[in-house]
Amino acid sequence: MSLVIKVGLASCGLAAGAGEVYDAIQKHIKKNKIDAELKKTACIGMCFVEPLVEIYEEEKKSITYGDVTPENVGDIIDAFSKGKPIEENVIISNILKGSENKTFKKQKRIVLRNCGIIDPISINDYLEKDGYSALEKSIKNMSREEIIDEIKNSGLRGRGGAGFPTGLKWQFAYNAQNDKKYIVCNADEGDPGAFMDRSVLEGDPHSVIEGMIIGAYAIGADEGYIYCRAEYPLAIKHLNIAIEQATKKGYIGNKIFGTDFNFELHIKEGAGAFVCGEETALMASIEGKRGMPTIRPPFPAQSGLWGKPTNINNVETFANIAWIILNGAKEYAKYGTEKSKGTKVFALAGKIKNSGLIEVPMGMSLRDVIYDVGGGMKTERPFKGVQLGGPSGGCLPAELLDTIVDYDSINKTGAIMGSGGMVVMDTSSCMVDIAKFFLNFTQNESCGKCTFCRVGTKRMLEILTRISEGNGKMEDLDTLEELSENIKKGSLCGLGQTAPNPVLTTLKYFREEYIAHIKDKKCPAGVCTALIKYEIIEDKCIGCTVCAMKCPVNCISGERKQVHKIDQNVCIKCGACYDACKFDAIKKG
Amino acid sequence: MKYKTEIDIAINKFVGKKGALIPLLQNAQDIEGYLSKEIMSYVSEKTGIKLAHIYGVATFYTMFRLKPQGKHIIRVCKGTACHVSNANSIMNEVNNHLNLSGKEDTTKDGNFTVMSVACLGCCSLAPVIMVDDNTYGKLTPDSIGKILKKYE
Ligand SMILES: Cc1cc2nc3c(=O)[nH]c(=O)nc-3n(C[C@H](O)[C@H](O)[C@H](O)COP(=O)(O)O)c2cc1C
Ligand code: SF4
Ligand code: SF4
Ligand code: SF4
Ligand code: FES
Ligand code: FES
């Protein structure tokens, strides 16, 4: 029997060196005449132990190895062929003890059903996993109303952030009377620290395309756009290939399944503007204009792209559709809570051990997501907070870890579910700095149309900067809250309306940290550079000169074997010396 | 004008298509690495799109560059995951290594341009940088020199 060897070649796999591992395997099996089929796949979600290689004779007895190198992969294959697989670095396996067997089992993979399993650019792989049979079922056996009802009954809500019921949105677009309608996939994924959509597009592009075609059929659209951020070249490449394949097979084009349903699909690359993730701005951008949001109503369902009725959904929303059509609304609604059905994909990042992509049923607690599925903290330092929802979201403290993952429960805390970015922080992060970080981001990305969003965020950023430099006053905290309320009320689009959230949540849950900056002029986490100082401890310094060589501004002086000294007037507080000293002779305070 | 034929090809590819301005400008930028005033005026002249509109679009999107660029582009990620994983020290080291003060972004020899970006989608490997089309993750300031050497 021959072996199957799969290598994960998604963006972060490639960044971790999976391309070299692939080449090494190819060479090894050729040289040793090993009977093996070498396959490419994408992201299985265990990005923290990339490069990943799966190996099996029968799929039921497979082993996935992590941290594979071009040097050790030959041994892994040889040992497996001899029936004595290596037991180190096993991540997931159904025959050996894998370090992540348990965490993997806690997931429920609907959106990610094929990610990391199939070759994303092989339509045959997708077809073998029942690909396009939901499309066939929809067109041949269901009326357009039945499809929309099925999606409504599933309880699926939009995964792009706002959580609007998808079936209802489709109903609005269906109701619009017009001979031309559009369907659009929002793949702009602007939340810095989130990569769910990237992984789905790279790993299973057909699932998104199939969802879009079903949606187009249901609402009566004959043309679609996928708006993908240009920072995702591999996703764009896979989408292009997938569209071409689907067109060849007749799932895109004229007379699909012999009916009079026609559909064409285009890709538009973004040009780097976070606000273009907002639906009206996104449509303006597709039309070739500056991506400025416009007032709703009219909603896209009435007047969207080029004034025609348009339905916009997120990547993950579309990736759910085919599964729901095939398995039924009831089966989908089994997962989740009363008002948030199904599963949610999260991108775990920051100081969490298993950083990568996971999919869990709604209703799981944040604690279980972070500690059970995510493996807990990566560093020795304790958990401090988790950021949900990116620039529109908030930071939640340890006391709120029992909050469950569902739209309404998370909203109650002042954060938002958002698109699924979850950045875990330990005590080395400063919450004033985090608030400043997000405000800086939104302030840069504000399109400038509304005064409150443009000027208000700037004022808030000035205040936060002042606080982080030790020049804040207690009244500043009230001003921040006041400005927040005004910006929320006076902004046209979601960017401005939610921009204060990172500040409000940190003020609410980490207020004492703001006070430490203002009253004690101290940054407890040691992050805000104006409030910290690096000093050499005379008793410990042995004069090895390493720090002096590292210092970018040459402000450390001292002869070899003599105690060194930092010129505080010149020091830019980069911390390079602190990291470099092997004798713990530099203190940060 | 330099690259007239290439620009003409790009214009012809998109002429008459709806919503073509942004992909057209992306194409034009790829030719010379940035959008010069000359190119924008030429595109305006050839397509009949007002120069003010073209300029408005070019300045709105961060992807468009109005100044000449280095041969290699270094994108330092400053997204949330990278920020909490000490992306600042990576940026400092890149600038330090290339003798850039942080005010100017292109090296004197025109070999590198440094920019910060808001997330490269490889947050699991934070902190991350991208040089041209290659992504490097799990960085420490010490790893920068070795990576940049490949492009020197
Ligand atoms: C500033 C801003 C940025 C947004 N960015 C995205 C994004 O990157 N991806 C996305 O799917 N939705 C984004 N949205 C939400 C969209 O406007 C829209 O609600 C969503 O695409 C609808 O799809 P859904 O119903 O499937 O969630 C953003 C909204 C705002 C206000
Ligand atoms: S809220 Fe901000 S980003 Fe949104 S339209 Fe107004 S100025 Fe532009
Ligand atoms: S690296 Fe440490 S021990 Fe060496 S000179 Fe600097 S402070 Fe002293
Ligand atoms: S913190 Fe940076 S600038 Fe200051 S002394 Fe250390 S290496 Fe030099
Ligand atoms: S990109 Fe490789 S496992 Fe996520
Ligand atoms: S935050 Fe740096 S890659 Fe996402």
* pLDDT tens figures, A318-339: 999 999 999 999 999 999 999 9
pLDDT tens-place string over residues A112-159: 999 999 999 999 999 999 999 999 999 999 999 999 999 999 999 999
Per-residue pLDDT, A198: 95
Cβ of A477 closer than 6 Å to ligand 2, yes or no, is no
Q: What is the rounded distance in angstroms from the CA atom of residue A457 to the CA atom of residue A447?
A: 12
Per-residue pLDDT, B101: 80
Which residues share a beta bridge with A534? A588
Q: B48 Cβ partners below 8 Å, 6+ apart?
A: none
The answer to whether A576 contacts B84, with C-beta atoms less than 8 Å apart, is no
pLDDT at residue B1 tops 80 = no
Q: In the structure encoding, which two tokens stand for residue A406, read together?
A: 């569902």
Per-residue pLDDT, A1: 66
In terms of Cα–Cα distance, which of A241, A194, A100, A172 is closest to A422? A194
Q: Return the residue whose CA atom lies nearest to atom 8 of ligand 3.
A: A541
> Which of A534, A535, A536, A549 most suits a substitution to test ligand 3, by most atoms within 8 Å of the C-beta?
A536
Per-residue pLDDT, A186: 98
Per-residue pLDDT, B17: 85
- Residue A445 CA: which ligand 2 atom is closest? 3
CA atoms within 13 A on the CB side of B123: 35
Instruction: Point out the residue among B23, B56, B128 whose CB comes nearest to the CB of A290.
Output: B56
Q: A27 Cβ partners below 8 Å, 6+ apart?
A: none
Q: What is the rounded distance in angstroms from the CA atom of residue B35 to the CA atom of residue B28?
A: 7
Local confidence band at A279 (pLDDT 50, 70, 90 cut-offs): very high
pLDDT tens-place string over residues A559-578: 999 999 999 999 989 888 99
The answer to whether B84 contacts A306, with C-beta atoms less than 8 Å apart, is no
Cβ of A189 closer than 6 Å to ligand 1, yes or no, is yes
pLDDT at residue B102 tops 80 = no
Chain B interface test: which of A69, A232, A289 (most B C-beta within 10 Å): A289
Q: How far is the CA of B146 from the centre of ligand 4 (A)?
A: 22
Nearest CA in chain A to B126: A350
Mean pLDDT of the region A277-297:
95
Mean pLDDT of the region A526-532:
92
Cβ of A300 closer than 6 Å to ligand 2, yes or no, is no
- Give the minimum alpha-carbon distance from A373 to chain B in angstroms, rounded to a whole number: 15
The CA-based diameter of chain B, rounded to the nearest angstrom, is: 51
Decide: A510 and A431 in contact? Cβ < 8 Å. yes
Mean pLDDT of the residues in chain A: 95
pLDDT at residue A239 tops 70 = yes
pLDDT tens-place string over residues A434-461: 999 999 999 999 999 999 999 999 999 9
Per-residue pLDDT, A76: 96
Per-residue pLDDT, B2: 80
The answer to whether B125 contacts A356, with C-beta atoms less than 8 Å apart, is no
> Which of B76, B119, B135 most suits a substitution to test ligand 6, by most atoms within 8 Å of the C-beta?
B119
pLDDT at residue A391 tops 80 = yes
Cβ-Cβ contacts under 8 Å, B23 against chain A:
268-269
- ipTM, two decimals, is 0.92
Q: Higher confidence at residue A576 or residue A224? A: A224
Cβ-Cβ contacts under 8 Å, B60 against chain A:
273, 290-291, 447
Q: Return the residue whose CA atom lies nearest to atom 4 of ligand 3.
A: A544
Q: Higher confidence at residue A183 or residue B141? A: A183
C-alpha distances in Å from residue B126, one per residue of A421, A425, A588: 14, 13, 24
Instruction: Point out the residue among A232, A285, A437 whose CB comes nearest to the CB of B22.
Output: A285
Per-residue pLDDT, A552: 83
Decide: A261 and A219 in contact? Cβ < 8 Å. no
Asked if B11 is an interface residue toward chain A (Cβ–Cβ < 8 A), one would say no
Cβ of A547 closer than 6 Å to ligand 1, yes or no, is no
pLDDT tens-place string over residues B41-73: 999 999 999 999 999 999 999 999 999 999 999
The answer to whether B125 contacts A347, with C-beta atoms less than 8 Å apart, is no
Instruction: Point out the residue among B92, B120, B122 whose CB comes nearest to the CB of A574.
Output: B92
pLDDT tens-place string over residues A506-515: 999 999 999 9
Q: What is the rounded distance in angstroms from the CA atom of residue B134 to the CA atom of residue A317?
A: 30
Residues found in chain B: 152
> Helix (H) and strand (E) counts for chain B?
7, 4
Nearest CA in chain B to A435: B80
Q: How far is the CA of A355 from the centre of ligand 5 (A)?
A: 10
